[in-house]
Amino acid sequence: MKFGVVTFPGSNCDHDMIDALRYDLGQEVIELWHKDKDISTFTTQDCIILPGGFSYGDYLRCGAIARFSPMMQSVIEFANKGGRVIGVCNGFQILCEAGLLPGVLLRNENQQFVCKNIFLKSENTATSLTKDVTGRPLMIPVAHGEGRYYADDATLDSLFKYNQVLFRYCDEFGNIVDAANPNGALRSIAGICNKERNVFGMMPHPERATSAALNNRDGQLIFQSLIANN
């Protein structure tokens, strides 16, 4: 399994992701540029990652311009063929804009940028990304101004019905409570996937929690789950 990490104008977490995968997890990483189109060396057993940042300056809406980049046209085709795609923070926003994931990320409920460690948990054993991390709270950093997941009630009901909710915000004991929700996301949703379970989006940054130097390796567990269940 190898990883491709896309850099857009305004990406600022691309090298965080590259370093976490390459040095902390020992994975093969190929750096991809937003103007390129060729990802023919990737198979459906590989994974393309859209990192965090402010792609194209977040003009119009977060991710709205990046969705039309040459690379994203190839990523959309890759995902539709069953290839694994992960969007983190701005990458999650891009996936929603591209129609690969339902819903939208709105401005945080308190209208302020939030940057801190939070806790999240998964109860989803049906996806490769979460299968090995269910049943325990993970401490993962967030850093966003527009991370409030929103969708209509029918979409939200469908996400839970078809087991598409990856992560929910919780307290350090795993309790889903409003006080632990950093942005006002509906039903405390921190991450979702598509029905085919090969496209994943999440607002928290697991790549910022993969090193002993940061005193936090909880993010490693998420990537290790993906790799182990490839």
What digits encode the pLDDT tens for the residues 33-91? 999 999 999 999 999 999 999 999 998 899 999 999 999 999 999 999 999 999 999 99
Q: Is a pLDDT exceeding 90 seen at residue 141?
A: yes
Question: Considering Cα of 165, then 49, then 169, then 154, what sign does the dihedral take?
Answer: negative
- Gap between the Cα atoms of 179 and 165, Å rounded: 20
Q: Is a pLDDT exceeding 90 seen at residue 134?
A: yes
- Gap between the Cα atoms of 63 and 96, Å rounded: 8
Q: Is a pLDDT exceeding 90 seen at residue 230?
A: no
- Gap between the Cα atoms of 9 and 230, Å rounded: 30
- The reported pLDDT for the residue numbered 186 is 98
Q: Is a pLDDT exceeding 90 seen at residue 229?
A: yes
Strand, coil or helix: 221: helix
Across the range 141-147, mean pLDDT stands at: 98
**Cα→Cα distances 218→42, 87, 148, 155, 183, Å:** 27, 18, 22, 30, 21
- Gap between the Cα atoms of 67 and 194, Å rounded: 17
Across the range 157-167, mean pLDDT stands at: 98
pTM: 0.97
Per-residue pLDDT band at 18 (split at 50, 70, 90): very high
- The reported pLDDT for the residue numbered 65 is 96
Pairing of the two strands 148-150 and 138-144: unpaired
Radius of gyration of the chain (CA): 16
- The reported pLDDT for the residue numbered 178 is 97
Contact 102, 151 (CB under 8 A): yes
- The reported pLDDT for the residue numbered 60 is 85
Pairing of the two strands 2-7 and 199-202: unpaired
pLDDT digits (tens, 9 = 90+) for 190-201: 999 999 999 999
All residues at 6 or more sequence positions from 205 whose CB lies less than 8 Å from its CB, including other chains: 13, 16, 52, 88, 89, 140, 141, 142, 143, 219
Give CA angle at 166 (160, 168), nearest 5°: 85
Domains and CATH numbers, the chain: 2-228 (3.40.50.880)
pLDDT digits (tens, 9 = 90+) for 91-115: 999 999 999 999 999 999 999 999 9
Give the residue numbers annotated as catalytic, written as ranges: 89, 205, 207
- The reported pLDDT for the residue numbered 138 is 98
- Gap between the Cα atoms of 161 and 24, Å rounded: 35
pLDDT, the chain, mean: 97
